[in-house]
Amino acid sequence: MPIARLSFQALCGAVLLLSSACDPLLDFTGPGDEVATVGITLGFPGFTSGAFLTLGDRDTVRAQAYTDGWPSHTKYDSSSEPRRFQYLSSNPGVASVDLDGVVTTLSIGTTKLAASVDGVTSPVLSLNISPPASALIAEPTTITTRVGDTFAVSIDALNRDGQYVPDIVVIVGLDTTYWALTSMPFEGNWVRTPVVLHFQAKAVGRLQLIATVQNERDSSRFQVIVPVEIRAP
């Protein structure tokens, strides 16, 4: 029979030969059986963050329900019991979720997804739906600047026909030497195309500016890289 609660007095009796210092005021509580929290994602279960899909994509919500106490355990998992959970999309015109947790993207925009079970609801997962794109381009393609100068890079997205596509979510980073050589973009790390990014050169050296499309699909997570050389003033 599973043990849900073990008193400290009983524990002390079991380990009397190992320890003589047992405090009767303390008490150990084992894992309960009621759902305490629910996690939701389109990737790793239990991790709640933003999610990104392209219009026309389909994906599946992953939800897990966890008990309280220590150690907690997974009581329900949508990978084996998808209909155990109830799913919600705050903007079903952007993306709908069926009884099995399958997400269908319907229009460009943002919606918030949630899953609930046994009266407990997950934190919301923000889902961004972008138009189809196939490439990022940067201008200029290479940069040479000097310490103390501010420089700019424009980032755009193109579709398969070579036409510009707006509202593609991009995360901007630099290689591992960036912190010593230049600032992060003044506009922030998370941006939407089209965008012009501004940096300040801080030290002599070489680095790469890397812009990557955010998407749950590897095939849609493409990037553009701009080499940067910073010279002495």
Indicate which CATH number applies to the domain containing 96: 2.60.40.1080
Please report where in the chains the tokens 């705050």 appear, as a residue: 90
In this prediction, residue 54 has a pLDDT band, given cuts at 50, 70 and 90, of: very high
| Last residue in a domain, options 106, 130, 154 | 130
Q: Identify residue 166 by its one-letter amino acid code.
A: P
Amino acid of residue 80:
S
If we measure between CA atoms, which residue out of 96, 52, 226, 73 comes closest to residue 155? 226
Q: Based on the domain organization, do 157 and 200 belong to the same domain? A: yes
Q: How many domains does the chain have?
A: 2
> Within this chain, do residues 83 and 176 fall inside the same structural domain, yes or no?
no
Residues 86 and 41 in one domain: yes
Answer with the one of 130, 156, 188 that is the final residue of a domain. Answer: 130
How do residues 1-22 score in pLDDT, each as one tens digit?
Answer: 333 333 333 433 333 333 334 4
Residue 121 included in any domain:
yes
Q: 53 and 115 share a domain?
A: yes
The more confidently predicted of residues 180 and 107 is 107
**Pairing mode, strands 164-165 and 169-174:** unpaired
User: Do strands 125-130 and 109-117 pair parallel, antiparallel, or not at all (unpaired)?
Assistant: antiparallel
Could you say which of 130, 148, 165 is where a domain stops?
130
Q: Show the domain range for 108.
A: 29-130
Helices (H), 22-87: none
What's the pLDDT tens digit per position in 133-185? 999 999 999 999 999 999 999 999 999 999 999 999 999 887 765 556 777 78
100, 110 contact by CB (below 8 A):
no
> Has residue 148 been placed in a domain?
yes
Which is more confidently placed, 16 or 104? 104
pTM above 0.85, yes or no: no
